[in-house]
């Protein structure tokens, strides 16, 4: 059963491992918090970020935590222990402009600290380079259909060392791959 105590979760959305503290970091979506949970059985979680409509999250090689806040339409980067964070993508309201996000869900950070965000309602993946004021569309963004230039409700995203973007094209029941600089993707699975 779900709940809101330190020993409860309510509709958790995503989980990653914090190697530094040997714990799990969980987006506890319906409790509007990010919680750190030791991997030892019988322990309770500790809220590390509160009042956040959290969905996807990831951690970079330097130990910075990136969290999608769907309500604020932004991605923030946090140093563990910091509760404010810094906006690294979006933060300019809901919309289609390249400085905005619309229902962001998942996030990936590459070795250059560029942030990739799936936008469920804009049907695209946007890349925000370190310090950028707006994103660059790297997959989809051509409407909501199933051609090779389009996505329909993208969710999870990863990027390989060559810059190929792999994205779950949720409503089209497929995984798409977009090579760096490509204007259309290829169906990888589905």
The percent of residues in the chain predicted with pLDDT above 90, rounded, is 87
pLDDT band of 76, cuts 50, 70, 90: very high
What share of the chain in percent tops pLDDT 70?
A: 98
Q: Domain spans of the chain?
A: 12-139
- DSSP one-letter code for 71: T
Give me the mean pLDDT over the 104-112 stretch: 97
Binned at pLDDT 50, 70 and 90, residue 158 comes out as very high
Q: What is the mean pLDDT of residues 59-75?
A: 96
| Residue 114 pLDDT exceeds 90 | yes
Tally DSSP H helices, then E strands, for the chain.
0, 16
Q: Is there a contact between 168 and 154 (Cβ–Cβ < 8 Å)?
A: yes
| Whether the predicted pLDDT of 80 surpasses 90 | no
How far apart (Å, rounded) are the C-alpha atoms in residues 34 and 27? 5
Tokens matching residue 116: 């990739």
| CATH class held by domain 12-139 | mainly beta
7-58: per-residue pLDDT in tens? 789 999 999 999 888 899 999 999 999 999 988 776 788 999 999 999 999 9
pTM of the predicted protein model: 0.93
The per-residue pLDDT for 152 is: 97
* CA 108 – CA 32 distance, rounded (Å): 21
Residue 128 CA neighbour count, 13 Å, CB half = 26
Q: Is 66 helix (H, G, I), strand (E, B) or coil?
A: strand
The average pLDDT across 123-152 equals 96
Residue 45 to residue 138: CA distance in whole angstroms: 36
The token duo for 12 is: 């958790």
DSSP-derived 3-state class of residue 171: helix
Q: So what's the pLDDT on residue 42?
A: 67
């Amino acid at each position: 059963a779900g709940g809101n105590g330190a020993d409860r979760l309510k509709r958790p959305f995503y989980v990653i491992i914090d190697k530094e503290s040997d714990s799990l970091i969980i987006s506890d979506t319906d409790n509007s918090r990010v919680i750190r949970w030791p991997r030892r059985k019988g322990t309770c979680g500790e809220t590390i970020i509160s009042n956040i409509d959290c969905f996807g999250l990831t951690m970079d090689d330097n130990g910075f935590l990136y969290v999608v806040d769907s309500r604020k339409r932004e991605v923030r980067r946090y140093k563990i222990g910091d509760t404010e964070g810094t906006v690294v993508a979006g933060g300019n309201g809901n919309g289609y402009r390249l400085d905005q996000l619309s229902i962001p869900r998942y996030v990936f950070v590459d070795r250059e600290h560029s942030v990739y965000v799936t936008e469920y309602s804009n049907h695209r993946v946007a890349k925000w380079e370190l310090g950028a004021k707006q994103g660059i569309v790297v997959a989809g963004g051509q409407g909501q259909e199933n051609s090779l230039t389009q996505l329909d409700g993208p969710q999870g995203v990863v990027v390989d060392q060559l810059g190929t973007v792999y994205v779950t094209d949720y409503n089209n029941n497929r995984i798409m791959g977009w090579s760096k600089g490509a204007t259309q993707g290829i169906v990888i699975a589905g």
